[in-house]
Amino acid sequence: MKWSRILDQLLPPLVTRVLTRGERRRQEIECFRTLYRQFVRDGDLCFDIGANLGNRLRCFRAMGCRVVAVEPQSFCLRRLRKDFGRDRAVILVPKAAGAAAGTATLRTSPVHVLSTLSDTFVDTTRASGRFAAVEWSGEETVELTTLDALIAEHGLPRFVKIDVEGFESKVLAGLSQPVPALSFEWTPEIPGNALGCLEKLEALGDYEFNYSWGESMRLARPDWLDAAAMRRVVEEFAGENQMFGDIYARLRQHA
């Protein structure tokens, strides 16, 4: 009787979730499309650095973009190969991106979106309380490539999305030429990571910046900011452990 009551409680929401999965995915793609249509159009090449299970990849493909998806995590790669392995417009790269080619240790978590190459990310987000209960209990040795190497092999992307849990500045360290537009994840407890990204982009080209909070897929500012103003935003929220977001950058001549 006890299990019968539990099943009666669990089955309706589970069935609803399964039946509405397609509609929820369509809504997610449309939300992403509203943001990304500012940067890409049908036929453009995108790099998805830290593709995870492919939610951004799926959006780029729905917009008609070609995608180079970079993901080192074995669990995620299996899913990506299942979902996108036959798509000729998607190139799956089973590596991580960094400052130079080589190998590195990926600290893996059962919460797969939090697996990271950054010990600082683990230590700082634990100490801040953001991810105090999260375990990074596994390790994988992964191969590293660079944005420069990816560009040499696949061409210059119109947009690069970087979401690698505190390793974003290392990814940008492997880039020696400007790209038209990109985004990188911003974890406020690690302001040095975001500031390093801004400094690198300033050296590469005449960029302007905006940002979004969480998974809102909406830019926070109606007007784009110069690098100095974006730095002030990062510094203002330094140490915040409840909010996170993405910083967007675009070359002014491509705006």
Digit-coded pLDDT (tens) for 204-227: 999 999 999 988 889 999 999 999
Residue 6 lies in a domain: no
Residue 251 has which token pair? 């070359």
Classify residue 3: in a domain, yes or no: no
With tokens 């509609």, the residue in question is 23
- The reply to whether 102 falls in a domain is yes
The whole domain housing 230 covers 23-254
One-letter amino acid for residue 147 of the chain: L
- Tell whether 152 is covered by a domain: yes
Per the structure block, which two tokens stand in for 131? Answer: 């991810």
Residue 136 near residue 109 (C-beta atoms within 8 A): yes
Q: pTM of this prediction? A: 0.88
Tens-place pLDDT, residues 9-48 = 555 554 444 444 555 566 667 768 889 999 999 999 999 9
- Has residue 14 been placed in a domain? no
5 domain-assigned: no
Any domain includes 97: yes
> 90 Cβ partners below 8 Å, 6+ apart?
57, 61, 66, 67, 69, 84
1 found inside a domain? no
Q: Is the dihedral of CA 78, 83, 87, 89 positive or negative?
A: negative
The enclosing domain of 30 has a CATH number of: 3.40.50.150
Residue type, 185: E
Instruction: Convert the pLDDT of each residue in 171-197 to its tens digit.
Output: 999 999 999 999 999 999 999 999 999
Q: How many domains does the chain have?
A: 1
pLDDT, mean over the chain:
91
Over residues 215-242, mean pLDDT: 95
* DSSP β-bridge partners for residue 185: 246
Written as one letter, the residue type at 35 is: L
